[in-house]
């Protein structure tokens, strides 16, 4: 496409130079006729239209750059919103696990399934946003609460759900005492 435009431009320049040469070396006197005036007016109009097209092309290129910039900004905002949503999920689940812990009896053998569920969901979200310090504190509290995992009774479905969340935890090797928590959870009764 660019080659065609270049060829057409070269042809137009050659024709223009030839026309100028013919006009300059014209021997007869210059006379004004209606045909010449019409050609002049039409060439001025064509020149205005070509200028307008050039302006549109330049304006279009600037618009494309602006759209690309806005698209990049939208992607950044979308990523930021996703990260904020993960933080909101983390905080919500962590607070729910605290509520269930407070509702459970002081006899740690009767820890409610919901406490384990929301605590593990909190660990999953915290590890997803790479908040290892929060993961460490949740694991520490869970290990303090689950003193006798053999006395905690869950249904098989509940235990499978808990281990489903455990398998979705990212960066588990960076979380302190995480392997110890996994061993404690494995000892929970069914």
Q: What confidence tens digit (pLDDT) does each residue in 17-28 have?
A: 787 777 777 666
Calculate the CA 84 to chain-centre distance.
12
Q: What's the confidence (pLDDT) of residue 106?
A: 53
Global pTM reads 0.51
Q: Domain map of the chain by residue range?
A: 80-186
> Does 92 have pLDDT greater than 70?
yes
pLDDT at 99 (0 to 100): 65
Kindly give, in sequence order, each residue whose CB lies less than 8 Å from that of residue 119, ignoring residues fewer than 6 positions away. 93, 94, 97, 138, 141, 142
Identify which has the larger pLDDT, 109 or 84.
84
- pLDDT-derived band of residue 185, with 50, 70 and 90 as boundaries? confident
Is the pLDDT confidence value at 110 over 50?
no
Q: How far are the Cα atoms of 123, 136, 179 from residue 172, in angstroms, in the given order?
A: 9, 10, 8
d(CA 28, CA 22): 12
pLDDT at 1: 59
Q: What does the pLDDT average to over 10-16?
A: 79
* Separation CA 18–CA 11 (nearest Å): 11
Compute the average pLDDT of residues 31-59. Answer: 80
Question: pLDDT value at position 9?
Answer: 75
């Amino acid at each position: 496409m660019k080659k065609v435009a270049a060829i057409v431009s070269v042809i137009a320049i050659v024709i223009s130079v030839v026309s100028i040469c013919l006009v300059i070396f014209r021997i007869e006197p210059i006379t004004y006729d209606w045909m010449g005036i019409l050609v002049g007016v039409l060439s001025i109009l064509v020149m205005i239209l070509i200028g307008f097209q050039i302006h549109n092309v330049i304006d279009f290129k600037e618009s494309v750059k602006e759209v690309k910039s806005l698209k990049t900004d939208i992607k950044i905002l979308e990523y930021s919103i996703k990260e904020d949503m993960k933080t909101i999920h983390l905080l919500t689940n962590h607070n729910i696990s605290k509520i269930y812990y407070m509702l459970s009896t002081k006899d740690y053998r009767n820890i409610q399934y919901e406490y384990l569920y929301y605590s593990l969901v909190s660990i999953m979200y915290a590890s997803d946003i790479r908040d290892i310090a929060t993961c460490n504190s949740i694991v520490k509290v869970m290990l303090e609460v689950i003193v006798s995992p053999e006395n905690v009774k869950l249904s098989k479905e509940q235990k499978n759900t808990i281990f489903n969340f455990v398998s979705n935890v990212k960066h588990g090797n960076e979380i302190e005492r995480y392997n110890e928590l996994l061993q404690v959870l494995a000892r929970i009764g069914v």
